[in-house]
Amino acid sequence: MSHRVAPDPELTATIAARLAQLRRRIAELTDRDVRIVAVTKGHPAEVAAAAFEAGCVDLGESYAQELLAKRRELAEAGIELPVRWHFVGRLQSNKVRQLAGVVDLWQSVDRESLAREIARRAPGARVLVQLDLAGLPGRGGCPPEEGPALVRACRDLGLDVVGLMGVGPPGPPELSREPFARLVRLADELELPERSIGMSGDVEVAVEAGATMVRVGSALVGPRPPRGPA
């Protein structure tokens, strides 16, 4: 069944063109190196393979089972993608064990119980502390004012906290400017180098605010097919 995951050359070319365009847009805004994480959640495994072929070396996923199923499907087809996997979605502690050894950067650490489980299953793991920038229930992230304490708790657990992550509020991209600036100020204060902010809709605002990492899904790999029952 390897034909199902082998990347389609046309799709690969499309993603490569969008990636080049995104890199140009970023370069017009900053001299900083901004890492682009291609978020392939909601897309089949062949899209992850195509994104890698197109030059994406950082891939992001939001659902534990989906990430594991994709890797399994690719492995069965003899494809091992030498990419860094970023976990960017809400994470239940009971999924951590299966993800240990797979995830390179845990971007959505938003509570101490989760940090403790990651430290237990993947000692010394690289993590970002996620702040809730939108104040919306169910989106994940810890209240920004609790960020410093959570960063300290992660460090005490031996985790390698490299930065902060945040999702901007829904609506026009301008609404993300102030929350992103707040996250960047806090990262400065805590001397954390990585600021993972910006998605397809507000990537420019994020880069202007000081992003070192953007997480781009639909603008790179196309709109997500509707999510069926889990």
Provide the binding-site residues for ligand PLP, judged by CB under 6 A: 39, 41, 62, 88-89, 167, 199-201, 215-219
Choose among 167, 84, 159, 174: nearest CA to 131: 167
- Cα-based torsion angle of the residue sequence 184, 35, 39, 77 in order, rounded to the nearest 10 degrees: -150
How large is the C-alpha radius of gyration of the chain? 17
Select 64 or 199, whichever has its Cβ closest to ligand PLP.
Answer: 199
CB of 191 to ligand PLP, least distance (A): 24
Residue nearest to ligand PLP according to CB distances in the complex: 217
- Comparison of 12 and 108: residue with beta carbon closer to ligand PLP: 108
What is the closest distance, in whole angstroms, from the C-beta atom of residue 80 to ligand PLP in the complex?
Answer: 24
Structure tokens at 173: 């991209």
**Choice between 64 and 216, CB closer to ligand PLP:** 216
Task: For the CB of residue 190, give the shortest distance to ligand PLP in the complex, in Å.
Answer: 20
State in angstroms the smallest separation of the CB of 89 from ligand PLP: 5
In the bound complex, what is the minimum distance in angstroms from residue 2's beta carbon to ligand PLP? 27
Return the bridge partners of 85, or none.
59
Lookup: tokens for 224: 């997500």
Nearer to ligand PLP, 55 or 201 (CB): 201
Minimal CA–CA distance to 46: which of 83, 15, 8, 5?
Answer: 5
The residue (of 79 and 131) whose beta carbon lies closer to ligand PLP is 131
CA distances, 225 to each of 12, 16, 137, 153, 191 (Å): 18, 20, 24, 38, 39
